[in-house]
Each structure stands twice: as C-alpha cells, then as structure tokens.
Structure 1
Amino acid sequence: MFRYKQVMVIRKDLKLSKGKMAVQVAHGAVTAALKVQKEKPEWFKAWFHEGQKKVVVKAENERELFELKAHAEKLGIPTALIRDAGLTEIPPGTITCLAVGPAPEELVDKVTGHLKLV
C-alpha cells in the first residue's frame, strides 16, 4: 500500500514524441524528488522506501500546468516545472511538464486526481 506518490503532468498540446515525453517526465521526476528531499525530507524518505510510486497524467496546455502548480503549492506540495533546452523537437524554454511531489497521496490527489492517465 502506497501512502506517498509523485505525479508528472505532461502537456497534450505539444504532441511530443514518446521518447521526448519520457525524457521530460524523467527530468520532472528527478528534479521534484530532489526538491522534496531538501524541503520535506520525511516525505521523501517515506516515498523512497515504499517504492517511489509515480503516475503520469496529461494536461491540456501550459496554462493548466500553472494552475495545477499554484494549487499544489497552496497545499504545501513542492513542484517542479520543466523547461526544454530546445535541442530537438520544440523551441528552447518551452514548459513541457509539471512534477507534483512526492507527497502524501491524499494531498496529491486534490491537485491531479481529476486528470487522465497518459
């Protein structure tokens, strides 16, 4: 049974290739996990030791990512926005992904529970 999870929210409107999407999600997972390790070490330890549950969902666009980010931060959940370097498929600085948590599952679900899986 998982009590903590991390959710990566990827933008649908960018129509990223599967490989590009995987890399952006990986950037988000690592960046947010390190942030949580520093800011909420008890959350990080619990999440890490119970198996590091991760879920990937989709948002419509950049605006929705910012709305989700604000909601998460209002609840005290660390987040990470990922901006692409622009070396392959999309322009430099494009925001591709929002990572939420790892954090207690019931908090994360208040932010991302309504989103569909990728």
Structure 2
Amino acid sequence: MQTFGSSSAGMYGVVVAVTFAIGLWVGSNVSPRRPVKSEKPHGQAIETVAKGTEAAGLLHGNDEDNESDEDQVSGDLSSLKIGPTEECTMVLVVREDLGMTSGKIAAQCSHAVLACYKSMLSSNVPLLRRWERAGRPKLTRWCSDEEILLELQALAQSLNLCTRSIQDAGRTQIEAGSRTVLGIVGPVDLVRRVTGTLRPFE
C-alpha cells in the first residue's frame, strides 16, 4: 500500500516530466521572433535628449535627433601594427564653432565611440583589444571648425589610424550634414601627432 508521501512524490515527478517535454516541444517548434525592419537608413542612431517632454516623445517614437556615421573612407586600418609595449588611446575632437550644448556633445561623442569600436572590430581586433586592456581611455579636444576637423581626419587616415567622423541629421540644434565629432584611435604616439596641439576640454 502506497503512503500519501510516496504518491505525492510520484505525481510531482510526472508533472516535472510533462513540463520538461512541453518545454522541449515548444523550443524545437516555435521559431524566434525576427526584428522589425526599420524604415531609417542604415547607421542612424537616436539621441536621447535630457528634457522631460522630449524624452517622453522619444519613448513614443518621436525621435527628434538622428545621427549617422557617414564617413566610411579610411586608411588601411588592418595594416596598423602595435608594438608589444605601445599604449593605445582614443581622442574625440569636437567642433567648437557649432556651439553645441553639453548634452548634444555627449550624444555626438557617443556616436563617434561606437563608430570607432565597430571599425576596429571589423578591421583591427588587436588594436581594439589593446585599447580595451588599457581601460578604454578617451580624451576630448576642441577644434575650431570643419576645415580643421577634415585636415585632422586626413592626417589620421594617412597614418592608418582608426578614424571616424560623425555627421548630424539636423533635427535639433545644427544644420544637417554638419560634421560634429571626429574619433581617432591608435597608439598614443601616433594619435598625439594628429591631436597633440589641440586645446583640451576645461
């Protein structure tokens, strides 16, 4: 004669077995959700604005400010070799003449960091790993205008550094297509050759 305890244990085992079988069936027969395709061009990102009403609008799909990394021209990043003792850094060069707010600058710098990261991930993983091991150092510098920013970009590309500039979509503070921030990553000595004379943020 079975006791109440052994009967309960048997029922529990049956429930566990049935639940496991259902889980296996669902896992093997239900296909994962596919992400919804965006109507936006590839590479655009949303800037979160630090204002209550605008942030609320963003949550409801009203993205006020889209940025795109339009700069796809670069030097041969894959050919950049790093010595065993070389330190790596990232410098974010911000245009001073645009008069961007601190929030806007932060958003644009974030886009530049991500663009540089993706570039290193696809073209020079050793550089990316060295930069990560160094603690992902980032410095910010001012440049006076777009002409200077383009000159810096050309020089960085000639040295095969990781170089990405960000162009604004023009939905908030500045004109569409304006280059706002230039991101440069590489060995410290090479990066200094490009940005060493620029004024740091105070």
Q: Which runs of 4+ in 1 moved over 2 A?
A: none
Q: CA deviation at 1:33?
A: 1.7
Between the two structures, name the one with larger relative contact order (CA 8 Å, sep ≥ 6): 1
Q: Which amino acid aligns with 2:125?
A: P
Which residue does the alignment assign to 1:65? 149
SS of the residue corresponding to residue 135 of structure 2 reads coil
Indicate which of 122, 144, 152 corresponds to 1:38. 122
Superposed CA RMSD: 1.1
Q: CA deviation at 1:40?
A: 1.5
* Contact kept in structure 2, 1:47 and 1:53, CA below 8 Å: yes
Structure whose CA Rg is larger: 2
SS of the residue corresponding to residue 199 of structure 2 reads coil
Which residue does the alignment assign to 2:16? none
SS of the residue corresponding to residue 108 of structure 1 reads helix
Indicate which of 151, 161, 168 corresponds to 1:84. 168
The structure that is strand-richer by fraction is: 1
TM-score (norm 2): 0.56
Which residue does the alignment assign to 1:109? 192
Q: CA deviation at 1:37?
A: 2.0
SS of the residue corresponding to residue 90 of structure 1 reads coil
How many residues were matched structurally?
A: 116
Q: Distance in 2 between matches of 1:32 and 1:113?
A: 19
Q: Which amino acid aligns with 1:107?
A: L
Unaligned runs of 5+ in 1: none
TM-score (norm 1): 0.94
